[in-house]
Amino acid sequence: MDFRDTLEEQAFRDRVRSFIDQKLPSNLVGAEEEDPGREQAIKEWRAALGEAGWIAPHWPSEYGGGGLSVSEQFVFNEEMAEARVPDVGGMGVNMIGPIVIRFGTEEQRKEHLPGITSGENIWCQGYSEPGSGSDLASLQTRAVRDGDDYVINGQKIWTSGAHRADRMFMLARTDPDAPKHRGISMFLLDMKSPGITVQPLITMAGDHVFNEVFFEDVRVPAENLIGDENRGWYVGAALLDFERSNISRMIALRHMVDDLVTTAQASGIEMTPAMRAEVAERAIEASVGRLISYRVISIQKRGGIPNYEASMNKLYRSEVHQRIAQTGVKLLGMYGELYRGSPHAPKNGSLAHQYLSTVSATIAAGTSEVNRNVIATRGLGLPRA
């Protein structure tokens, strides 16, 4: 594996760095959601990215994207992560946009893609259900054809951002008699459609990120079907073909370790030798995570599709994320348990909040158990139990 940039990659990296230096609003990096001026700074940054064609860097240029190669995407994501730039694309840019481009009709592309790149429409994902998490193909939400519409009944859960979303891309069962992977279809729907109810799910960290979404006789035009009926599972699985190095999240791990050291210094904490060794171990783990991302991208640059390597990436990242949060709380001692709002909480209780938030890291986006099974069977060739 060659860690060096080609001449073309280095030139592109320099271009991205120059863009960040010139265009990134100074009050955007590290800003909290409630910080005054953040919303305006986001608008300015989005406008700058849009002018450069980098709102959706991995989309083809004819659909408003940057048309970047896999290696350019990696460089772009790496530099944005190093600069701690917030993501303004969301699920629209990163998930459903590529699906509409690949499987949608020309009418669907014209209707949905401009609203994604402009930020006019925010999207959420309707996949998981109360009884269908790790085994998503067992989902039971039904979509029944009725004239020019499908009528949807059922429930989704852990729907990130549904309370703010304008649109949803979702999977529903259209053939209950088919084998479970073959009777599912993908739909696009307006979250303002009659019959949709969104109820909040508050996390143990006190955040409103997730929601339950209920569908009661929700009518969706048949033209909002993506791909062929009963082939939605394979449409959804195609998301896995896109860049999966997760370099941004691996770099975020190193930033977390750096922030631990900065917080300890600002709080006047003198680390014991044992504590120094533990923080150093977290730093080493973050660096190893970056190398795993390099491995994934090296496979893609050669034209391959990472399989178990992507599961290694996710498994390792989520578990290191938890360990860094645990080290942070431990480092601050009793002060590390103080939460937001306490005048004595270092960094306004962000480390305690992070500790609680990372509990779900090994569950969300594929549990550690599922990823270990993938690594065992596809990576090591072990037999299924």
The strand ranges marked E within the chain are 123-126, 142-146, 149-156, 167-173, 184-190, 196-202, 208-221, 225-226
Every domain of the chain and the residues it spans: 7-88, 123-232, 244-379
> In the CATH hierarchy, which top-level class contains the domain 244-379?
mainly alpha
Phi, psi of 156, rounded to the nearest 5 degrees: -120, 155
**Domain spanning 123-232: CATH superfamily:** Butyryl-CoA Dehydrogenase, subunit A, domain 2 (2.40.110.10)
**Strand pairing report for 149-156 and 208-221:** antiparallel
Q: How far is CA 33 from CA 39, 50, 59, 87, 337, in A?
A: 8, 22, 28, 13, 22
Contact partners, residue 104, CB within 8 Å, separation at least 6: 112, 226
Phi, psi of 187, rounded to the nearest 5 degrees: -130, 155
Mean pLDDT, range 83-94, rounded to an integer: 89
What pLDDT digit, counting tens, does each position of 326-358 carry? 999 999 888 888 887 788 887 778 889 999 999
Is position 243 annotated as part of the catalytic site? yes
Residue 134 pLDDT exceeds 80: no
Cα–Cα distance measured from residue 149 to residue 152, given in angstroms and rounded to the nearest whole number: 10
Cα–Cα distance measured from residue 11 to residue 53, given in angstroms and rounded to the nearest whole number: 17
What pLDDT digit, counting tens, does each position of 47-74 carry? 999 889 899 998 999 998 999 998 999 9
Phi, psi of 338, rounded to the nearest 5 degrees: -75, 140
Radius of gyration over alpha carbons of the chain, in Å?
Answer: 22
Cα–Cα distance measured from residue 257 to residue 279, given in angstroms and rounded to the nearest whole number: 7
Mean pLDDT, range 36-50, rounded to an integer: 87
Q: Which of 129, 243, 285, 309 is catalytic?
A: 243
Q: Residue 278 corresponds to which tokens in the numbers above? A: 């533990």
Average pLDDT value over all residues in the chain: 91
Q: What is the pLDDT of residue 340?
A: 78
Could you say which DSSP state residue 178 is in?
S
